Amino acid sequence: MIKIAKIFTVYFYRWFIAGILSLLSMTLSAKVYNVVDFGALNDGKTLNTIPIQKAVDQCTKEGGGTVLFSGGGKYMSGTIYLKDNVTLHVDNGTTLLGSNTYSDYTTDTHKNMYKNEPQMNRCFIFARDAKSIAIEGNGTIDGNGKRSDSIFVNERPMLMRFLNCSNLHLTDVNIINPAAWTSAWLYCDDITVTGIKIQSRENWNGDGLDFDGCTNVRVSNCSFDNSDDCICLQTSRFDKPCRDIVISNCLFSTKWGGIRIGLLSRGDFSSVTVANCTFRNIEDSGLKIQINEGGEMKNMVFSNLIMENVPRPVFMTFCQQRAGVDSPMELVPMKAMHHFIFQNMIIDNSKLNKNSAFFLTGLPNHKIEDILISNVQFVVSGGGTQEDAAKTIKEYTPDVLGEWWPEFFLVGTLPAYGIYARHINGLIIDNFVVKAIGSDARKPTIFDDVQNLEIRSNTTIQ
């Protein structure tokens, strides 16, 4: 027994020492590039663009690693170029701060893809043709984009833009105060965004995450408080589809749309799943699904959603409008919009005004096809008048739209308070319960030019 104990002790110590040496080796081999070592100061006043970029450049040159912002305080900078195999790590209590001088942002960071919005071409953090890049940490990235009489009114840099990149990670950081959009992801693949918090109320057009022509995207466990759309899916190029997107376990609040799919819609959209999310105090729409530049949109599921104070839980349009800066001037032929499921939703709009309904509309010769709405509990305030009930709703034709997007304000109050569906082929309503708290002279549902309509069991109107 003594001999066995001695052998065990020897092997245990060998194993223990080997483990310590292995851990020490891993620690020593993990390359960390502290921006302080390159001359950066965290006083919130010094412009650190040059030392930060030196740290990034050396990191990628030596095979990759972590560029570290630590020690508290604020590291201010102009445009930072991320490169292959670089992780920006912002420690808890530390802030990476954008400059409040527009000229500190460079002009070679691509452009905003929406027409008539060149004021958002520049950006704070940029990557082009990069692979395996990450931004992480429990610290804060502050765009310093508060609108005032002198700064960031007509010229407003985006906070982040990634172009033709792959294997991207955005994890746990707090992102606040962008001067324009928080982020634009253009033609990227393999994206993971998790655990982030975006607060964007200091300026207008404060989108959260905008994925343009991206594939294999996962967004989870995030919260959004925005002055514009929280998440956008877009296709500004006909050869760059937006597909294989999963959004789950997120919280949305905004002055505009919770999740918007479309507008920029030259390319196709497919295979989108949104699940287990909460939408609260949305001023325009919860889900805005709109195609108008010739792409095809199909195969999307939206399930297990809670909405409170969301005027249009679902707003769908199929029409023609030019949205992109590179889109042809002539309106392109319409393609198709089909196969959508909206299920397991609880919606409480009892405190809102009468403009609260599902609004789904195609055009007479271009119908939205194959929609299922099931297991929905929907409470509205009521208040619709006889005049509202008799109203005729305009079509979203090019002459009506003009230069406007196909937004709800172009038609105004609907003649129904639960569902208004028009120009649809294949609509199933199953277990849809809508209750108006106050009196309402309008019908609960209107189906105008809806073919293959099926109202299934347990659908009730109160």
Report pLDDT digits (tens) over 326-378.
999 999 999 999 999 999 999 999 999 999 999 999 999 999 999 999 999 99
Which residue, 290, 199, 300, is CA-closest to 252?
Answer: 199
> Is 275 part of any domain?
yes
In a domain, 23, yes or no: no
The answer to whether 441 touches 413, Cβ cutoff 8 Å, is: no
Whether 209 is in a domain gets the answer yes
- pLDDT tens digit sequence for 82-113: 999 999 999 999 999 999 999 999 999 999 99
In the numeric block, the tokens 């110590």 are attached to 13
> Does residue 328 sit within a domain?
yes
At 150, the pLDDT band (50, 70, 90 cuts) reads: confident
What does the pLDDT average to over 183-200?
98
What global pTM score does this model have? 0.93
Per-residue pLDDT band for 229 (boundaries 50, 70, 90) equals: very high
437-285-193 Cα angle (round to 5): 130
CB 173 within 8 A of CB 196: yes
The vertex-300 CA angle with 298 and 303, nearest 5°, equals 160
Tokens of 412: 């105004």
Considering only CA atoms, which of 444, 406, 445 is closest in space to residue 422?
A: 445
Token code pair at residue 424 = 């649809």
Does residue 26 lie within any of the structural domains? no
The answer to the question of residue 423 being in a domain is yes
CB neighbour list of residue 164: distance below 8 Å, 6 or more residues apart = 128, 129, 186, 187, 188
Question: Domain range for residue 260?
Answer: 31-461
Residue 396, both tokens: 């979203």
Write the pLDDT tens digit of every residue in 376-389. Answer: 999 999 999 999 99
- Tally of domains in the chain: 1
Angstrom distance (rounded) from CA 8 to CA 259: 60
Query: HSE (CB half, 13 Å, CA atoms) of 432?
Result: 18
Decide if 446 contacts 429 (C-beta within 8 A): no
Which pLDDT score, from 0 to 100, does residue 458 have? 73
pLDDT recorded at residue 223: 98
Q: What is the CA angle 335-341-346, rounded to 5?
A: 135
**By C-alpha distance, which of 350, 352, 371 is closest to 360?**
371
Over 200-243, what HEC string results? ECCCCCCCCEEEECCEEEEEECCEEEECCCCEEEEECCCCCCEE
CATH number at residue 439: 2.160.20.10
Burial (CB count <10 Å: 0-12, 13-18, 19+), residue 457? exposed
Question: How big is the chain by its Cα radius of gyration, in Å?
Answer: 25
> Residue 8 pLDDT > 70, yes or no?
no
Q: Is residue 16 part of a domain?
A: no
Beta strands in 5-69 (DSSP E): 32-34, 43-47, 65-69
Task: Look at residue 22 and tell me if it is in a domain.
Answer: no
